[in-house]
Amino acid sequence: MSNHQDDLDCKDGACAVDFTKESEVKETFTFNKEHLIPAIGLLFLLIGIGFDFYDVLFFKAPIPLIWFGIIYLFVGGPIVLKALKLITKGDIYNEFVLMSVATIGAFLIGSYAEGIAVMLFYVVGELFQEAAVNRAKRSIEALLKVQVEEVTVIENGKAIIKHPKEVKIGEIIQAKAGQKIALDGELFSDKAVLNTAALTGESKPDSKQKGDVVLAGMINLNTLIQVKTTSLYADTKLSKILKLVQEAVGKKAKTQLLISRLAKIYTPIVFWLAIALVIIPYFFLGADYVFQTWFQRALIFLVISCPCALVISIPLGYFGGIGAGSKNGILFKGSNFLDLMTKVDTVVMDKTGTLTKGVFEVQKVVTNNFDTDLLVQLTATLEENSTHPIAEAIVKYAQKSNIKNSKSKIKKVEEISGHGIKGTVGDYEVLAGNIKLMEKFDIAYDKNLKSNTETIVIIAVNGKYAGYITIADTIKEDAKKAITALHDIKKVTQIVMLSGDKQAVVDKVAKELGIDKAIGGLLPEDKITEVEKLKAQGKTIAFIGDGINDAPVITLSDVGLAMGGLGSDAAIETADVIIQTDQPSKIATAIKIGNATNKIIWQNIALALGVKILVLILGAMGMATMWEAVIADVGVALLAILNAVRIQRMRF
């Protein structure tokens, strides 16, 4: 059953991503011409068996051969033709040749009904497999519809219709109520209410204000809005997600690769064993040797030995796991990562944007013999050059407070990784960052700030401590649930949080959530060091982050996970697993899906090998008929396929 095996590849839409009601597809069965031939074949096969069983007068030789022969041509003809094509290419050891030899051989010894039954059930198995593949394909097809083919661009006050590929960065596009936004950008209108489910899986409408980030695929829910584009069509978050989806099964799991290699060795072995089963008994039985008996046993042996269940159910099992992940807002970039998730014993995570919302707001401004408005003005002017969420919070605070910046007076700006930012604003030399920044430049500051549990930005002006700004970030709603769920997984023995924030803040979050170990005050390279220490202890690590600074650690870990809804492109591109919903609770879900997939894979392997070995022995001993062979081959394959599909209906 491998003629659909190539479909198990995301380039054909095999990897489903289904995060929203927008992309839900109704599961309906449609009877088409592909089902017509096996249905008619089954009907006439049963009629023929009935004629033969009741010894109907006209159903005498050569009528049965003609009757069953015509059915065989319709049902098995395409399989035989494919076998012949493969033989001409030098590919002899494949299931099509095995099935053709076995069923034609059945006709030669007069087992017409059995020969057709083998082919018929084989074709039905193919349809089951195709249905399983198509079921998951529909999700990606629905997601592709999220992309917009037309966009309204405002040029010189006029509305012009273009394809999104033609729109440049900085142009103004508009979307009516109910329309999808075509490109990433900033909201140009005063406010908007958007459905972000296609990207984040969150069905709750998201309110946006002027200047807020909006992404392609979001749906405008109320009035006409305008968006200033910040990316080209090919660089939108949605386009990158779709590209990742299309490449998702490029990396195959070790189990899948092992079974594929074994099948190539296994097939020629059983082929020659079947020939030996016909020839060798002749030398031991002498005059008692009956060619037809041993030939029939060899044919039964061939039918039983066909590796359909293994070759198909294993990749289909991983395929089902990827589909289950996508239904839960999780994108596995390869089936091998499903396997790796089962081995994770240590979960390491970033704080900001992963466990917290990463949406900061200024709480208070404290000065040290310095004008408050001027301190905010200088800091906001400097921070406009940073994309850090804390910097953005200070800039927004200045805008809301109607404090004008001094942007025109900026001379130079330098961002110091893990410390803060330094620059010249007019006549002022300004430093804004953490305690390490102050210590780096030997600035005398209030030592009480070391025990402050809040997130603070300390500011120095012209070499003197000028004050600080406190910033608040909120913990995500399901963060506590995420940690609890991870603790409930037996394999996971430790949960670690790494953060660049100061230790007091990190400890506070860790205590509230129940995290085993929390380390703060880390630079990006320090996070790498901490992960390397854990790996040196033999730990299998899953690291979860969302920022550009998390990309190196994501790459280093055994399984790298990224918050994909609004995470940085660098984190998404380097991650092995992407959590589209930005919910930390999905980390546990990803591990559970990996465990469930692995369990189903090994169930299928045990089922296929166990039944086949048993019936192969019985067949060689003459204790199994062609009907047992049919059940052992196609029946087991069907059960394995149904078992593999089952994972997509599980709740995690």
Whether residue 532 sits in one domain with residue 487: yes
Q: What is the pLDDT of residue 20?
A: 36
Whether residue 133 sits in one domain with residue 14: yes
Tens-digit pLDDT profile for residues 191-233: 888 877 555 544 457 788 888 888 887 888 878 999 999 988 8
The CA-CA-CA angle for residues 142, 146, 148, to 5°, reads 135
Instruction: Output the CA torsion sign for 196, 201, 203, 205.
Output: negative
Query: Average pLDDT, stretch 63-89?
Result: 91
Among the listed residues 9, 18, 184, 350, the single catalytic one is 350
Selected residue with higher pLDDT from 141 and 166: 166
Last residue of a domain, one of 449, 472, 495: 472
Tens-digit pLDDT profile for residues 415-462: 887 788 999 988 899 999 999 999 999 999 998 888 777 778 999 999
Q: Kindly report which listed range (81-95, 143-157, 372-386, 585-599) carries the lowest average pLDDT score.
A: 143-157
Note if the bond before 584 is cis, omega within 30 degrees.
no
- What's the token pair of residue 520? 């703060």
Question: The CATH number of the domain where 193 resides is what?
Answer: 2.70.150.10
Tens-digit pLDDT profile for residues 104-132: 877 887 888 878 887 887 787 667 666 65
Domain annotation covers residue 458: yes
Whether residue 425 sits in one domain with residue 489: no
Tens-digit pLDDT profile for residues 395-417: 889 988 887 766 557 778 888 87
350 is catalytic: yes
Q: What is the pLDDT of residue 12?
A: 33
- Helix axis angle, 479-487 to 586-620, nearest 10°: 40
Whether residue 485 sits in one domain with residue 451: no
Domain annotation covers residue 496: yes
pLDDT level of residue 13 (50, 70, 90 thresholds): very low
Q: Would the pLDDT of 510 be above 90?
A: yes
Q: Would the pLDDT of 312 be above 80?
A: no
Q: What is the pLDDT of residue 149?
A: 76
Last residue of a domain, one of 527, 557, 580: 580
Range of the domain at 220: 168-231
Comparing C-alpha atoms, which of 84, 511, 107, 144 is closest to residue 295?
107
Last residue of a domain, one of 445, 472, 499: 472
Written as one letter, the residue type at 205 is P
Place of tokens 């004629």: 51
Task: Indicate the SS3 state at residue 92.
Answer: coil
Number of domains in the chain: 4
Q: Would the pLDDT of 30 be above 50?
A: yes
Selected residue with higher pLDDT from 636 and 308: 636
Selected residue with higher pLDDT from 180 and 251: 180
Whether residue 446 sits in one domain with residue 365: yes
Whether residue 259 sits in one domain with residue 307: yes
Written as one letter, the residue type at 590 is A
Domain annotation covers residue 236: no
Q: What is the pLDDT of residue 31?
A: 55
Mean pLDDT of the chain: 80
Whether residue 28 sits in one domain with residue 64: yes
Q: What is the pLDDT of residue 207?
A: 80
Selected residue with higher pLDDT from 244 and 72: 72
Tens-digit pLDDT profile for residues 246-299: 554 444 445 555 555 666 777 788 888 889 999 999 998 888 899 888 888 887
Q: What is the pLDDT of residue 119?
A: 83
Q: What is the pLDDT of residue 9?
A: 39
